Amino acid sequence: MKRFVLVTVLLLVVLSCLCVIGYATVPMGNMPDGPYDAILVLGVPAKLDGTVSRAGRVRVEEATEEYRQGRAPAILFSGGAASNKTVEAHAMAQAALAMGIPRENVIEEGESLDTLENIENSQRILDARGWNRVEVISTPPHLHRAAVLLEHTHLHWRAHACPVTDSRWREAGVQVEEIFATTMLRVFGLRVIPAMHSVARVQHAVGRKLHLM
């Protein structure tokens, strides 16, 4: 019995190490650092009152700073009403306008409900404008998973991390989730996404329930 437990623990340690290695070695871009046609900001849940959340504001601030430094002439915000009735892209876009970004340089993609749709729907908008060079902004843990998905597009891209606003414990939990999800994508490819969607739907439902309590 002790030997079985020891072997099980060793296997879990080895698998955990492989997952971390797979996560840490994800390429974070396929082009030099700029210039870009657009800055793509991946979605994050907004508040129920229609305003941008703290996590969303950090992404907007990072994108705004990149825009002002001349990294790209436009910002594309992506994200639908994934976690509540507020469209994530619109909430972030409104925050960007309030920060002084011109309306004509702010684009909204408000239909996507997950990271894959963020990227696919945004790619169609970029294609329609003849753009294919993008700087992608999100939190460090999320960017690794997004990077794996971006590898399946024809975009020229580079990831750019914004600060994390979660508590240390929440950040650690998110990190573990992203390591697992990223590893699954790297090992099994896009065919694992339906299973990941099922898990995400449960998480969103639980999150909404807790928010209403």
| pTM (two decimals) | 0.85
Q: How many residues make up the chain in this entry? A: 213
The CATH code for residues 38-212 is: 3.40.50.620
pLDDT of residue 197: 62
Stretch 158-181: mean pLDDT: 84
Please name the amino acid found at residue 16. Answer: S
Write down the pLDDT at residue 183.
84
Q: What is the mean pLDDT of residues 143-151?
A: 95
Residue whose C-alpha is closest to residue 118's, from 174, 155, 77: 77
Question: What pLDDT sits at residue 198?
Answer: 64
Give the burial string for 135-144 (b: 16+ CB within 10 Å, else e): bbbbbbbbbb
Q: Which residue has the higher pLDDT, 32 or 107?
A: 107
In this predicted structure, the answer to whether residue 93 has a pLDDT above a threshold of 80 is: yes
Among 24-28, 57-61, 201-205, the least confident range: 201-205
Cβ atoms of residues 39 and 131 within 8 Å: no
Question: Which pLDDT score, from 0 to 100, does residue 212 have?
Answer: 41
Residue 202: predicted pLDDT = 57
Asked if residue 131 lies in contact with residue 156, where contact means CB atoms within 8 angstroms, the answer is no
In the chain, where the domains are located = 38-212
Most distant CA pair in the chain, distance? 67
Mean pLDDT (the chain, rounded): 87
Residues 129-138 have a mean pLDDT of 97
